[in-house]
Amino acid sequence: MAKNSGEQTATEYIQHHLQNLTFGRHPDGSWGMAKSSEEAQQMGFWAIHVDTMFFSILLGVLFLWLFNRAAKKASADQPTGFQNFIEWVIEWIDENVRNGFTGKSTMIAPLALTIFMWIALMNSLKLMPLDLMPMIASLFGINYLKIAATTDINTTLGVATGVFLLILFFSVKVKGAGGFAKELSSHPFPWKALIPFNFTLELVTLISKPVSLALRLFGNMFAGEMVFILISLMFSGGLFFALFGGGLHLIWAIFHILVVLLQAYIFMALTIVYLDGACDEHIEHDHAP
Compute the distance between CA of residue 77 and CA of residue 74 in angstroms, rounded to an integer. Answer: 9
Active site residue 216: yes
Active site residue 220: yes
DSSP 3: P
Catalytic-role residue among 25, 124, 216, 236: 216
Catalytic-role residue among 96, 123, 198, 220: 220
Peptide bond into 110 cis (omega under 30): no
Q: Are 263 and 156 in contact (CB under 8 A)?
A: no
Catalytic-role residue among 96, 212, 232, 236: 212
Q: Give the C-alpha distances (Å, rounded to integers) separating 22 from 40, 91, 195.
A: 6, 40, 45
| Burial zone of 151 (CB within 10 Å; 0-12 exposed, 13-18 middle, 19+ buried) | buried
Compute the distance between CA of residue 117 and CA of residue 119 in angstroms, rounded to an integer. Answer: 6
The angle at the Cα of 20, spanning 2 to 43, to the nearest 5 degrees, equals 120
The DSSP element (H or E) to which 127 belongs, if any, is none
Active-site residue numbers?
A: 212, 216, 220
